[in-house]
Amino acid sequence: MSAPEAAALAPTARPARRRRRIDLLLWFCGAWLAVLILAAITAPMLGLQEAQDAAKTLLEPVYQPPSLGSTHPLGTNALGLDMLSRIIYGARVSLTVSISAVLIGTFVGGTLGVIAGYLRGKVDKVIGTLTNTLLAVPALILLVALATVLRPSALNMALALSLVAIPGLIRVTRANTLAFAQREFVTVARALGAGRARVVFRELMPNVLLSVVPMCLVYVSALIVAEASLSFLGIGLRPPQPTWGNMIGEGLNGKMEDYPHLVYVPAAVLFLTVFSFNLLGERMRKRWDKREVSL
């Protein structure tokens, strides 16, 4: 049998299928954030134990350690308030404040960055000076100064934290705008007679903001830590409003040694949440960078 005949009778080789690896860590982080966000949204409907009003917990045990089979699975604090309930209501505060701050920072910083990258010239210099001024002030000192001046509320905290995100978002959106401004769709829009405002807000803004979504997730995690730090120092949202920061602060003055769950429970939730946002942002950045390279 000749070689061509043998090749014709041989079974056709099928291309090997690439097996997609399941990123278990990514799925775990996504599931954790989904459960946490869902619990925070539906907290009033979950039938949780008391989280704020100590007058309603006079008969509850104080400093109860975590016990999954009890009515307080994560334990109680010095006032008999339920730790699980405080964790979930604290998640509402942390997520609302940090996400609102990032949205404000993205809107303001994204708009200024796109305008600076597209118009250049004097406008770019003015916005660049503003950015460098904000970056010259240490973030912690800026937040402490604002927190001591403003009334402690979720809105004021979001406004103060947004100032931390604005400079970085201005720089990132400006750099992306410089790249997108050379693309064909911008050239075509100019050729068709589109004005500067239309090019900025209809052509550049959607593409630039989409590319900074992974960075926004990283900023959410950073601002969650910042909000918790201010609450821990006593200059953020204050008790009886539960936040992860002031819950960790309940372990001060030697209480952590006797009742470690006061610190370990909120600290573990804070760590998992920040880690999950960081990982999701990193995975999104890698995937979208590959798409940009393929384009």
pLDDT digits over 240-250, tens only? 888 999 899 88
The rounded distance, in Å, linking the Cα atoms of 276 and 32 is: 8
φ, ψ dihedrals at 165, nearest 5°:
-85, -25
- pLDDT at res. 288: 66
Q: Model confidence over 13-64: pLDDT tens digits? A: 444 455 567 778 889 999 999 999 999 999 888 888 888 888 888 888 888 8
Radius of gyration, alpha carbons of the chain: 26
Q: Which of 43, 44, 81, 74 is nearest to 60 (CA)?
A: 81
pTM beyond cutoff 0.85: no
φ, ψ dihedrals at 16, nearest 5°:
-70, 135
Q: Model confidence over 85-105: pLDDT tens digits? A: 999 999 999 999 999 999 999
- pLDDT at res. 183: 74
- What's the average model confidence in pLDDT over 119-123? 84
Q: Which of 58, 50, 47 is nearest to 86 (CA)?
A: 50
CA-to-CA dists, residue 126 to 15, 72, 179, 196, angstroms: 57, 55, 21, 18
Structure tokens at 125: 């210099």
- pLDDT at res. 95: 92
Residue 52's SS3 state is coil
